[in-house]
Structure 1
Amino acid sequence: MRCGVGQGVPVTIAIRRDRWGISHVEALDRLDAFEAQGWVAADDRFWQMDADRIKAQGRWAEIVGSKGAKEDAFFRRMRLTNKCKNDWSLLAPETKQMTEAYAKGVNRWLKEQADQLPEEYQYHDLPPESWEPWHCLAVYKIRHVFMGTLHRKLWRGHLLATCGPEVVEAMQGNMNDDSVIASFDNPTLDLLSGLPEVLKANSELLEALVDIDGGSNSWAIHGSRTSSGMPLLAGDPHRGIEFPNVYHQFHMKCPEFNAIGLAFPGVPGFPHFGHNDDVAWCITHGMADDTDVFVESTDLDQVEWETELLTVRGEGDYEVYCGSTERGPVVIGDPAENMALSLAWTGLAGTDTTFDALIPMLKASSCKKLEDAVACWVIPVNNVLSADTQGHISFKIRGRVIERPEANRWIPVAGEPASSWTDLEPVAFDQLPGVTDPPEGYLVTANNRPSNSGPYISLDFAGSARFDRISQLLETLPAASLSDMERIHGDVVSLRAPDIVDSLLTHASKFTHPWAEWLLNSLANWNNEMSESSIEAAMYAVIRRRWCESVGERLGISAPSFGAPGWPSAEDASRMLADAALVLLSDHRHTLIPGLETEEDLDHALSACIDETLTELQLRLGDDRETWTWGRLHRMFSPHFMASLIQEAHHLHPPVDTCPGDSDTVRCGSVIPERGERASAASVARYAFDLDDWDKSGWVVPHGVSGVRGSGHDLDQRQAWLECALLPMVFSDKGVRETEVSYFEL
């Protein structure tokens, strides 16, 4: 902590930490502000930043051993390091300066703390290296590379080759009927156009690859519907719960901007959530189809292969073959088998100019200026909501959208010139969906379909349950306040449950368990709340899982492998199977499942799920049915991602807590069926921006601002998060000084 000198003029960066350990920086210029952001991020989260950097370089196995080797090989084959370096070299000069200042701050911290590194470094021998500006891009890309459609296309490829076209079509459901964020008078886009022909034409191609061994919410409310007369903007991103948390709370002020928000440790600015003096912004994942997978065979012998050494802790070095076809890098499969998979991803195709938006976002003065600032955005595609102090609210899709042939949307396709992206241009920014100040007086996004018209964005949107529930709640609020935002954050009513329960009540009668009638009567009178104290929620969740397992076993797709062992992962496959199996039940397409061709077959299957659920709950929770609560089953694990792989670091895991909600409720508590009922994804932050008075805004994260266990700010927000309460997001000079607990200078 010191004062620096620039051109003979004292330069001071003031840092105030509030009672939650959140830093509020005041700097003399923007480069000092970004330097301070780098220093603070390192102080709070250096090991997390370093781990993401190492993963992006394909070196994670050097720390965790063989469990990191699969993805290391994938990232090496993608040439992700080279891509990040090249993209950085093509950024605008002011963007490069931003990353250089950020890196300077990280390295200042690293030099000062060289003999006091985080505890994680005691459990491996890989010392931290100096932070380079391009590392910021690497950290950002590694957090988004698997958010696209890679695993879904591998899953559908396996499904097509195993079960045939009709099952694939039925499992997708009729997406054309789903709720949309905004409707337009343009021609309607039919997402199922040409599907039967596409699937039949590619079925034989994919059969050869199967035998190889091996969500978020946001909403904006116009001032005409709030108690203050000014907009409210709120939401919560859903990701896997881990420690340290993915987002880092931070505030920086300089003559060019004054901004506060949720940053990625290792990345400057506030790419996803924040506000300045004039405008607030937030995003949900746009679920865009940003990835194509190609089945390569004839071109493999023309690839110029290179080898890289992949070091695996405790096992030595292994060669990884890296090469590309004209469609993209070969990432999955063994070229020696004369068949492998190559990849095209919007984060690899063309120059990634995402970071060029970060400074203009901080300086934007209105919703319109904010949207202009993100016209250069590439990854990922987001639904952006914004609100400004002029009273406007707005929605806009941002990101690189590339429309391809219809076959590419669904499954891996043949590696042919016609499939390549070479001659394809991204959709122009002004052609992407958007709307400002809608007549309803509010906007909602929940990973659902953005528009009823083109351009094509994706097939794989979330269902409408969360979108419809938030819309229901907003309709009842003619004068919304910040406390209403907290109540919406905490809502656990499932709009999907009634369809599933109705199927049970209508079709199940051949059960044998003595408590089966009690179970059905309980579900018939249930309020559909996935609350911690709900017995019905627990029974509903286990029945859902049992049904999905039954469908997977009958179709022979419980453990899919496509192109290479472990692709898609067992966790991803079980989640996609769960969604698809419920669609088959709700849409009455069960007759496509072997052994469920008749109504009597369905009765036997659902009745068996009921019997198995009751037996399982007896074994797990005992015979006292009054104690069969959702909270006892639905526990939130927040794994420290190194401690999960290295036994000596096991104590770094945070404690386990009960968790309400599921994947269909506003308060998210998603499960991965492969892992039972444990909550695997939830709100990794909650926020509400009040444009009437920024100091009335609030936020909370699942753990704390610090990623250092035992620091005092590693878990101090946890109770508020569990209670769905927001903590003060102080912004004004007066507010910052009133909450100041410590002060120092760089």
Structure 2
Amino acid sequence: MAQSDGPGNDAGGNGAAGALGVTVRRDRWGIAHVEASSAEAAFAAQGWVAADDRIWQMEWDRRRAMGRWAEVVGMVGAREDAFFRRLGLAAISQADYAALDGRTQAMCEDYARGVNRWLATHEDALPAEFEHHPAPPEPWEPWHCVAVYKLRHIFMGTLTRKLWRGRIMAQAGPEAVMATVGDTEADAAMVPGEGPRPDLLADAANVLDACAADMAGLAAAMDSDGASNSWALSGERTASGRPLLAGDPHRGIEFPNVYHQCHLRCDEFDAIGMGFPGVPGFPHFGHNAEVAWGITHGMCDDTDVFVERFEPGSTLGEPWWIEQLQIRGEGTVEVLCGSTPRGPVVLGDPADGVALSMQWTGMFGPDTTLDALWPMLVSGSTAELIEAVRPWVLPVNNLLAADRAGSIAFKIRGRVVERQPASRWTPVPGTDEFAWDGLEPVPFEDLPEWTDPERGFLVTANNRTADGGPYISLDFAGPSRHDRICELVTPMTGATVADMSAVHGDVTSLVASNVLGLITEYAVECGHELSHTLLDMLADWDQRMTADSAPATIYAVIKRRLIEAIIERLGIVGAQLGAAGWPPAAEASRMAAGAATRMLCERNLDVVPGLDNPIGRRMATSACVDETAAELTQRLGPDPHAWTWGKVHRMASPHPLASALMTARDLHPPVDGCAGDGDTVRQGGTAPETGERAIHGSVARYAFDLGDWDSSGWVVPHGVSGVRGSGHDLDQRQAWLNCELLPMSYSPQAVASVTVHEHEL
């Protein structure tokens, strides 16, 4: 069992012998509160604590970043390894680490020292996952901090969306591609302004037509872009007279959870938050003594994909080379690696005459993201925090900040590179015209920001955040979560953390009213004996996706069937490309569902063959209701009032090793029913491919009270530990399911009151 009560006479390792001068206090949920004699000791302790809680997760991320996952799981990991070897992520990370400033490198060195100290004293106490590994983890190197951070963000951009839209272009044409984006003007914009909107469609159709033949054989990659909420209230709206900052990041839910709770106190700073195992500091969510910060994904168009032409059968010289993948139980596999002037070739075989290269903001010049971590920890105001993130590269975030002086602020942070409009939609030709040579990132000062709005609050939810300014993306989330949060916070006065928690748990769907209006109008030719009962139940429904709601289930299944009808008629169903198993069909299905949901909300069905007239809509909608009645009767029995949402909307949190190896399947955590859906503030996203199973949700919730830090709260889906059976692997799960926050103890007195174990490092 990895998570320890204390290191005893810890001798350290890799030059880490001797006391660190650190006291680690574990609270009742196993969360570590570190009190250190210096910043150097604090980061070493953070590395030690992260290893104690999450060493297998850190090893998993590191191996994938280096293209060495197949050494553990065999051929099931080979395709992912090949991608990251061809991308050259390890070499890029080493180069980026070398370009960081001295203080940042020292942070990573200290962090690595702490990890290696833990490894040296726990050789015989590794978690159960390592029973399935051929070897124990290797020492942690400082540049690994950069590699695991980059790994966690490469698929959060537009790589897979462009590949997916390229496939749609090839099989259904430009009209279908444009339909997948919807009415961009309908997205909620947060920053007021009169700047010109970018011409989103200029030249796109001509490029797509020219590339249609090339698109037919191209592969897609995994799509993991996020959906998150954050909001800040000024002191005029709160009980304390000081701001509240709250939110919840949404990702695919896995075990162990992506975020790690920790608290670091030393002479230079006193900060608490959620970090990435393997990375020092608190990049996304946290606060120090004066200022708090949180983010949502900015949905930036950060990647271009290029269709590269090669002479079939030609011999490739420099800069091409062969790398050997070690495949457990299978020997070796050769992977051809190389680049074009656009970027590394990552998919396809040049010997076939066509392959894909890519460019990504995370490898377009040095990635200095980690240079922001120390300045964030020591910032004393929102202005200082915003200046601290000037080096930020990836991902592009909507940053919210609040300080104890009363300021609240929004800033887009990250590397935004504007290209020509034709690059926004699909893969483009591998020619000099589309290369990034000579391009410069948008200056930090030109990225949108908003400080202390008169309305007294800020909200971001992956929506379009500015009317003007630089081009960010085609792929913002719809406005439903943003608009619902605005509805909830607009009347607030005297707000507290409890009010923030209520927002976290809100399950009212603004999308449902649009979809129900369409159902009411067109479901007039139903023939199933239960269909009219279902319609009556929907008519009386409050449009809340609660776990005990039967109408929520009826609505969700009818909506899923309407989505399937749309994507089938558009010809974009089943657009998973490449070899079997990568990407998962659910990812293509999720992207298609997002496009179809936009069409339903905007009543933009005129572009859908067969649904472009009232008769077709009546037939299709009535059929969806009848099919829902038949399906749910078979699945849940004859009584529709017993078809509660929690029975079908169940959260699975797969363990990656258990998913790859049958012998490790006991590592999967249990499955639970949960509320919400992909359109509600309480996120529980689904995909038609996997029915009503929740595949996307809140991977953390937090509320920072700047009037009293000890009144703040947080929770994660499982627990702080990634060690199954440790006692802190699932002890936050019920609170997460109940949408409750646990105390975020910060002051020495509050930490002492919740401490259950204390030891020295």
TM range (shorter): over 0.9
Q: Partner amino acid for 2:188? A: S
Paired residues of 1:3 and 1:745 also in contact (CA < 8 A): no
- Look up the equivalent residue of 1:254 and give its one-letter code: C
Distance 2:18 2:527 in 1: 84
Q: 1:486 to 1:299 in 2, by over 3 A?
A: farther
Query: How far, CA to CA, are the matches of 1:391 and 1:288 in structure 2?
Result: 30
**Is 1:599 aligned to residue 618 of structure 2?**
no
Aligned to 2:739, the other structure's residue is in SS state coil
Aligned equivalent of 2:466:
451
Q: Give 2:330's aligned residue.
A: 315
Quote the Cα distance in structure 2 between the aligned partners of 1:10 and 1:482.
39
* Pick aligned residue for 1:285 from 289, 297, 309: 297
Matches of 1:566 and 1:548 in 2, distance apart?
23
Bigger drift between 554-563 and 636-645 goes to 554-563
Unaligned segments of structure 2, at least 5 residues: 1-6, 221-226
CA contact (8 A) 2:446 2:470 kept: yes
Task: Report the AA paired with residue 223 of structure 1.
Answer: G
Q: Is the aligned partner of 1:438 residue 2:453?
A: yes
1:526 matched to which residue of 2?
541
| Structure 1 residues 734-745: aligned runs within 5 Å | 734-745=749-760
Structure 1 CA distance for aligned equivalents of residues 634 and 69 of structure 2: 39
Shift of 1:566: 5.9
Shift of 1:52: 0.4
Shift of 1:490: 0.4
Q: 1:290 to 1:546 in 2, by over 3 A?
A: same
In structure 2, do the counterparts of structure 1 residues 207 and 524 end up closer, same or farther at CA, with 3 Å as the change threshold?
farther
Task: Determine the C-alpha separation between the residues in 2 that align with 1:638 and 1:567.
Answer: 19
Alignment partner of 1:724 is 2:739: yes
The size of the alignment, in residue pairs, is: 743
The answer as to whether partners of 2:219 and 2:347 remain within 8 angstroms in 1 is no
Residue 743 of structure 1 aligns to a residue whose secondary structure is strand
Cα 1:586/1:701, change in 2 over 3 Å: closer
* Match in the other structure for 1:254: 266
Query: In the aligned structure 1, how far is the partner of 2:687 from the partner of 2:589?
Result: 7
State the distance in 1 between where 2:104 and 2:267 align.
17
SS of the residue 1:295 aligns to: strand
Residue of structure 2 equivalent to 1:465: 480
Residue 361 of structure 1: aligned partner: 376
CA contact (8 A) 1:530 1:660 kept: yes
d(CA) in 2 for partners of 1:250, 1:54? 24
Q: Which amino acid aligns with 1:210?
A: A
Aligned to 1:208: 214
Question: What are the equivalent positions in structure 2 for 1:690-705 lying under 5 Å apart?
Answer: 690-705=705-720
Quote the residue 2:36 is aligned against. 27
CA distance in 2, matches of 1:3, 1:561: 51
After TM superposition, the structure 1 stretch with the greater mean CA deviation from structure 2, 423-432 or 306-315, is 306-315
Displacement of 1:479: 1.7
- What CA distance in whole angstroms lies between the structure 2 residues aligned with 1:394 and 1:60? 41
Aligned 8 A contact 2:10 2:121 in 1: no
Compute the displacement of 1:211 (Å).
4.3
- Distance (Å, rounded) in 2 between the aligned partners of 1:270 and 1:745: 23
Q: CA deviation at 1:228?
A: 1.0
Structure 2 residue identity aligned to 1:613: T
> In the TM superposition, what are the counterparts of 1:175-186 in structure 2 within 5 Å?
175-185=184-194
Change (3 A) 1:597 1:672: closer
Which of these residues, 558, 570, 573, is aligned with residue 555 of structure 1?
570
Residue by residue over 1:661-703, the C-alpha shift from the partner in whole angstroms, topping out at 9 and shown as x without a partner, is 0111010001122111111111111110000111111111111
Q: Please say if residues 368 and 393 of structure 2, whose CA atoms lie closer than 8 Å, have aligned partners that are also in contact.
A: yes
1:209 is aligned with what amino acid? M
Amino acid at match of 1:638: S
2 CA distance for matches of 1:497 and 1:531?
13
Query: What SS does the corresponding residue of 1:309 show, helix, strand or coil?
Result: strand
Contact 1:151 1:567 in 2 (8 A): no
* Aligned match of 2:68: 59
- The match for 1:127 is 136
In structure 2, C-alpha distance between the alignment counterparts of 1:593 and 1:176, rounded to whole Å:
20
How much has 1:540 moved relative to structure 2? 1.1
Structure 2 counterpart of 1:707, from 716, 722, 744: 722
Aligned pair partner of 1:188 in 196, 199, 202: 196
Q: CA deviation at 1:569?
A: 4.0
Of residues 144, 152, 174 in structure 2, which corresponds to 1:165? 174
The CA deviation at 1:620 is 0.5
Matched letter for residue 190 of structure 1 = P
CA RMSD in angstroms comes to: 2.0
Question: What residue is the counterpart of 1:659 in the other structure?
Answer: 674
Instruction: Give the conservation status (yes or no) of the 8 Å contact 1:162–1:207.
Output: no
Instruction: Say which of 92, 98, 113 aligns to 1:83.
Output: 92
Which whole-Å CA distance do the structure 2 matches of 1:3 and 1:645 have between them? Answer: 35
Counterpart Cα distance in 2 of 1:212 and 1:261: 41
Letter in 1 for 2:197: L
**Distance of 1:565 and 1:645 partners within structure 2:** 15
Which amino acid in the other structure matches residue 214 of structure 2?
A
Q: Distance in 2 between matches of 1:41 and 1:172?
A: 40
2:31 is the alignment partner of 1:16: no
Give the partner amino acid of 2:198: D
Q: Which residue of 2 aligns with 1:228?
A: 240
1 CA distance for matches of 2:24 and 2:595?
50
Aligned pair in 2 of structure 1 residues 7, 495: CA closer, same or farther (>3 Å)?
Answer: closer
Q: Which moved more, 1:114-123 or 1:597-606?
A: 597-606
Other structure's SS at 1:451 match: coil
Does 2:527 match 1:512? yes
Uncovered stretches (5+) of structure 1, i.e. residues with no partner: none
